[in-house]
Amino acid sequence: MKKEINYLKIAAYSSVFLALIFISFFFSFGFIGDIIRNLIQLILLIPLLIGILIIAKKNKLTNLKIISVVTVILGILYGLLYILSLIFQNINIATLLLFLIFAYSLSFVLFGIAILNLKKQFKLIAVLLGIIGIFYAILNALLSFIPILTILLLIFGIIFYILLSILFFRAIKKYK
């Protein structure tokens, strides 16, 4: 039990850090800075996944377990391909990136819906997190066609990770 609480704490702080990383996207850090920022973002997805899996297990939500694993795997694949496209700019992987964006967005919509299943245990925070997650996923898919949505996507991402950290902190309190 104490080990799970520690994992939830790590997930909560990782989520806060991810919100800060999303804020940092409003600033340019150059080529190397962008690669490092994206790598950190990918690494921080792992504690988030562990935290979600703990909450899903405690609440017997198999669908949340499955879709969170799929979403994180797709997110990591997309992130790694994006980083490779930055490093090796002459490689044309745009079609694969586009496919991964849509697959990731679809899985994120399902993730948002699965988070809504936590409504009974976490009340309003689960509802807000699920809804913001769904909107984030839709904006992510539309971003491929309407680049001006980047600012909205970043704002929704920041809100999503702040709400996720609140969910983790509440889970810590609930499961102690």
Q: How far apart are CA 159 and CA 153, in angstroms?
A: 10
Q: Where are the domains of the chain?
A: 2-175
In tens, the pLDDT along 20-49 reads 999 998 887 888 888 899 999 999 999 999
Give 53's Cβ-side CA count (13 Å radius): 13
> Helix (H, G, I), strand (E, B), or coil: what is residue 89?
coil
The answer to whether 118 touches 137, Cβ cutoff 8 Å, is: no
**How much is the pLDDT for 52?**
97
Q: How far apart are CA 51 and CA 15, in angstroms?
A: 10
Tokens of 140: 């992510």
Instruction: Name the pTM for this structure.
Output: 0.91
Q: How far apart are CA 79 and CA 43, in angstroms?
A: 10
**How much is the pLDDT for 89?**
77
- Across 118-141, average pLDDT: 95
- Across 96-112, average pLDDT: 92
